[in-house]
Structure 1
Amino acid sequence: MSRPHFDPSRYDAQLAEKKTRLAALLAPFAAPEPEVFDSPREHYRLRAEFRLWREGEERHYAMFEPGDKSRPILLDDFPVASEHINRLMPQLKAGWQASQALGFKLFQVEFLTTLAGDALITLAYHRPLDEAWQVAAEQLAAELGVSIVGRSRGQRLVIGRDYVEEELTVAGRRFRYRQPEGAFTQPNGAVCEKMLNWAFEALGPREDDLLELYCGNGNFTLPLATRVRRVLATEISKTSVSAALANLADNGVDNVALVRLSSEELTQALNEVRPFRRLAGIDLKGYDFGSVFVDPPRAGMDPDTCELTRRFSRILYISCNPETLAANIAQLGDTHRISRCALFDQFPYTHHMEAGVLLERR
């Protein structure tokens, strides 16, 4: 992650440019004007990763411009990161400078925080971690009030928990989430909460069932499950599946069946191309799917998965890459129309943006 060019005075103009770009991408599909959900102007990133750069006997937090690893940008703070990360940065630096056990061959630091006030720090090393490291890390974790994960080749030592706990409010209800170290989570918590509320409203109350692809740790699953009769959710990452199951249990959501299948595999199962033992006990034909929710990776949906979504009356699509979103909509345009669309500014001061569309059968 390179350092964003942080200039709050330019924020409104940059957001307007993104809206114009999204509207142009969706114009061929007669999309309505995008709803726009802005970001806090600073302290919006809940996670941050830094390399360490040595000058003399001291190591500094460092970032680099893309493609240039020779000229570091040395940091004492990071205004786009959460206030919690900014408080921890100097405290952690003092900790590794004061302890040979913590500082020796430390080369990378990752922070993961939440709106709920939780924090986890990952320390990566070019050496094995020993008992001295464990003792020093336990003391530092207690002093900072955080969990710590130490990583080196073939090692992963956890002080405290290997996840953080988040709380997000959707339609007046608070949902609790476990967000594991090393797994994907939305970096901008305030905008994530806006996305969840938009998706909740766009789906609306239904009397039928929902299919969810790429469910991750259940970020959208929890609130959307309260809008439908039942949910069948899929995810391929074991870590995310484990977190999603814990999140469902923690929130008392009991109308979701979660299976560890890729979208391609689920397409094969629904098309009766091949059976899967991971679907044992799940009656696919017993579902009355009216809607499908997808939040795919940057590459978007593959053509077969895109064809699968065509079967549904409503396609609720969250995208981190509007270009691949537009390509998927082009494949679906003869059967579905865009009834709502939205821009979520997850990544201020960059060209990246998150988008949402509701596609309904013509």
Structure 2
Amino acid sequence: MSAVNPADYRRQLDEKTARLAELLAPFAAPAPQVFDSPREHYRLRAEFRLWREAGQQHYAMFAPGEKRVPILIEQFPIASEQVNALMPRLKAAWQADAALGHKLFQVEFLTTLAGDGLVTLCYHRPLDAAWEQAAQQLAAELGVSVIGRSKGKRLVVGRDYAVETLEVAGRPFTYRQPEGAFTQPNGQVCGKMLNWAFEALGERDDDLLELYCGNGNFTLPLATRVRQVLATEISKTSVNAALHNLAHNGVENVTLVRLSAEELTQALNKVRPFRRLEGIDLDSYAFGTIFVDPPRAGMDPDTCELARRFERILYISCNPETLAANISQLHDTHRIERCALFDQFPYTHHMEAGVMLVRR
């Protein structure tokens, strides 16, 4: 991670824009739309190890590859204002109460733009009734949920999720974000991503296939643009959150199945049947668009070949190198109609990108 210097933000963003343009240049991509980030307090999640020094435990982080020399932290400017407000109050609580502080080694914060918060405390010891009583008092004082973790055991005080609200094209969507499951770390940029994808898809009278749908982050707004959606996700926690989010937001045209992208590819190719698809007629869908938001490794070659069948491929990527590699496989049949850079991770080399590919 580079030094956090808001005065240098624009230069770094320009460098990322040039790098993305260079990666997509072989495919005659248009200039990317650029969506910037707040300079500070943009990260809704934060995770710290604890380091004991002078008889006290402090928040600590380590440089990549360095586990012996900590960077002690009192405030964390890239984290949300809510995280920064919680940090000293939580530290004071574990210092004052051994039930909270004894063998505590890691703290995780999850906050939302909607103002919800969740704190996870990780221990090298079993959690007992004294811990639970102290955690209940802590949750009440901080106004957040508190989760204790110890060797595979989890105790929840409050809820095991945070609630977020994001607005797309003037409509608010509410999301349950489970503790420990993936969520976009930069909430304001996530909102920009959702609106860009919503606009890029446009109003359609056909169906959408979505792979890697997570908790339904994109599913909810995109479902309002098409006739129906078949969405897949492999994580059971994320599937359960997505089902709740769909029902809570009144989105009724989505069928969600717990399959990996590779398994769905096999099902659509009729390689083998899956019991989890029982009662779902894949042939009844008139798919016009496939939407993918894959992990950093990108799409595997078979999923790329599946995507080639679609008129439109809407692709959100957290790794522009694997995005470019996937586009090289698709370039003979699809062209890039629009692309975007989303600066999810200021002051680092990481970037999120989006492309809409259409059939030639």
TM range (shorter): over 0.9
Number of corresponding residues = 360
Residue number in structure 2 paired with 1:338: 336
- Cα deviations by residue, 1:241-290 (Å, 9 ceiling, x for unpaired): 00000000010000000000000000000000000000011110000000
Aligned to 2:105: 107
Equivalent residue for 2:156, pick from 122, 141, 158: 158
Q: State the TM-score, normalized to the length of structure 2.
A: 1.00
Structure 1 counterpart SS, 2:59: strand
* Residue in structure 1 matched with residue 75 of structure 2 by the alignment: 77
CA-CA distance at 1:220 after TM superposition: 0.1
Counterpart in the other structure of 1:244: 242
1:52 alignment partner in structure 2 = 50
* RMSD, matched Cα: 0.5
Q: CA deviation at 1:354?
A: 0.1
Partner of 1:259: 257
1:145 maps to: 143
Instruction: Summarize the alignment of residues 280-299 of structure 1 with structure 2, pairs less than 5 Å apart.
Output: 280-299=278-297
Amino acid at match of 1:327: A
User: Does the residue aligned with 1:52 lie in a helix, a strand or coil?
Assistant: strand
1:73-103 CA-partner distances (Å, limit 9, x unpaired): 1011000000000000000000000000000
Match of 1:115, SS state, is coil
Measure the CA separation in 2 of the matches of 1:198 and 1:134: 44
Q: Residues 214-233 of structure 1: CA distance to partner in whole angstroms, max 9, x if unpaired?
A: 00000000000000000000
In structure 1, which of residues 200, 212, 215 is the aligned counterpart of residue 213 of structure 2?
A: 215
Give, in whole Å, the separation in 2 of the partners of 1:4 and 1:255: 44
| The one of 311, 314, 317 aligned to 2:315 | 317
Match of 1:8 among 6, 15, 18: 6
| CA distance in structure 1 between the partners assigned to 2:154 and 2:174 by the alignment | 26
The equivalent residue for 2:355 is 357
Does 2:326 match 1:328?
yes
Deviation string 1:33-87 (CA, Å, 9 cap, x unpaired) is 0000000000000000000000122000000100011111101100000000000
Q: Report % sequence identity.
A: 78
- Alpha-carbon shift at residue 4 of structure 1 (Å): 5.0
Does 2:228 correspond to 1:230? Answer: yes
Matched, 1:174 2:183: no
Give unpaired runs (5+ residues) of structure 1. Answer: none
Give ranges in structure 2 of 5+ residues lacking alignment. none
Distance 1:4 1:142 in 2: 37
Q: Distance in 1 between matches of 2:22 and 2:140?
A: 51
| Secondary structure of 1:253's aligned partner | coil
Q: Could you tell me which residue of structure 2 aligns to residue 275 of structure 1?
A: 273
SS at match of 2:210: strand
What residue number does 1:29 align with? Answer: 27
Separation in 2, partners of 1:308, 1:263? 10
Task: Kindly provide the CA deviation profile for residues 113-160 of structure 1, in whole angstroms up to 9, marking residues without a partner as x.
Answer: 000000000000000000000000000000000001100103100000
- Say which SS state the counterpart of residue 317 (structure 1) adopts: strand
Aligned match for 1:304, one of 302, 305, 313: 302
Moved runs in structure 1, 4+ residues, more than 4 A? none
Aligned mates of 1:55, 1:155 — CA distance in 2 = 28
| 1:77 maps to amino acid | Q
Aligned mates of 1:36, 1:153 — CA distance in 2: 43
Deviation at 1:13, TM superposition (A): 0.2
